[in-house]
Amino acid sequence: MFPTADTCGVVIPGHNEGPRIGAVVRGVREFLPAVWVVDDGSTDDSVSVAQAAGARVLRHADRRGKGAALATGWSAVAQSGLEWVVLMDGDGQHLPEDIPRFLTPEHSESLLIGNRMASATAMPWARRLANRALSRAISRLAGQDFPDSQCGFRRVHLPTLLTLNLCSEQFEIESEMCVAFARAGLRVGFVPVQVRYGLGRSKIQPLADGWRWYRWYGRAAKAVAFRGKLRVERVES
């Protein structure tokens, strides 16, 4: 079964996105009316702006991280009875008009990820190089090709997602999701999406978040190797 507007909600995490979140919510609701904004400890008017635009707002009193905000959001969507969720960033870089690409019958994958690399030259060069390097690393770990593993614009089957027990609370959540779905033998697909940059300062802190991602990757690689060893030992026995 593929998702429709009646079975799919949207989760938008954000921290201090007051200048942009209203336009994002209004644009999204033209395609999918059920929108949850998870405010991650903002100190601006993000909450009131999102509510005025028609979103259901959940709030973390203190900033906990993108992964934690996404988990709060997709849990709420699941509790509402919807089967699918579209995840988007709150800074306006993902275009709502690309949402229909995620809702077509030919894409019934459990995880469908936006692919920005067809227009990669629009990315800042440092981000483009980093994304390609991280996507190569994730592809090796996942055992399949991920042309854009870091894109936060994605559509997910909620009952499947909730069985995977993802635990990352920061920006490495996108990488963890990719590896978890692929290693569980679940279908992962990609659709081309547009992207806008220069709308605000990135929330990513290159040193702190890069080091956190590196530590996550090390743990994930060990876990994948361990599971592979167990499979070999079971076959041999």
pLDDT in the model for residue 237: 38
Q: HSE-up of 42 (CA within 13 Å, CB side)?
A: 23
* 25 assigned to some structural domain: yes
Q: Is 225 a member of any domain? A: no
pLDDT at 236 over 50: no
Residue 202 reports pLDDT greater than 70: no
Q: Quick check: 67 pLDDT over 60?
A: yes
Length of the chain: 237
Question: Is the four-CA dihedral 177, 88, 3, 137 of positive or negative sign?
Answer: negative
Pick 126 or 211 by higher pLDDT.
211
Lowest mean pLDDT among 61-75, 131-145, 169-183, 199-213: 199-213
User: What are the tokens at 74?
Assistant: 């997709």
The token pair that represents 217 in the structure block = 């990757």
Report the distance separating Cα 65 and Cα 124, nearest Å.
23
Residue 212 forms part of a structural domain: no
DSSP label at residue 2: -
Does residue 211 lie in a domain region? no
Give residue 225's pLDDT band: very low, low, confident or very high (50, 70, 90). Answer: confident
Within a domain: 166? yes
pLDDT in tens, 118-129: 776 667 777 788
Edge to edge, the sheet with strand 8-14 lists 56-60, 35-40, 8-14, 84-87, 154-157, 111-115, 188-192
Do residues 60 and 72 lie in contact, with contact meaning Cβ atoms separated by under 8 Å?
A: yes
Q: pLDDT averaged over the chain?
A: 89
The answer on pLDDT for 130 being more than 90 is no
pLDDT tier at 230 (50, 70, 90 boundaries)?
A: very low
pTM equals 0.90
Non-local CB neighbours of 30 within 8 Å, separated by 6+ positions: 96
Mean pLDDT over residues 224-229, rounded? 65
Nearest to 175 by CA among 219, 226, 205: 219
pLDDT band at residue 232 under the 50/70/90 scheme: very low
CB atoms within 10 A of CB 36: 23
209 in a structural domain:
no
Quick: pLDDT tens for 132-184.
999 999 999 999 999 999 999 999 999 999 999 899 999 999 999 999 999 99
Q: Is residue 42 part of a domain?
A: yes
Winning range, highest mean pLDDT, from 116-120, 192-196, 223-227: 192-196
Structural domain for 141, as ranges: 8-203
25: burial class by Cβ within 10 Å (0-12, 13-18, 19+)? buried
What is the number of domains present in the chain? 1
Is residue 94 a contact partner of residue 152, using CB atoms and an 8 Å limit? yes
**Dist. CA 191–CA 101, nearest whole Å:** 7
Q: What is the pLDDT of residue 120?
A: 65
pLDDT at res. 224: 81
CATH of the domain at 76: 3.90.550.10
- Burial grade of 218 (CB within 10 A; 0-12, 13-18, 19 or more): exposed
Mean pLDDT of 38-67: 97
111, part of any domain? yes
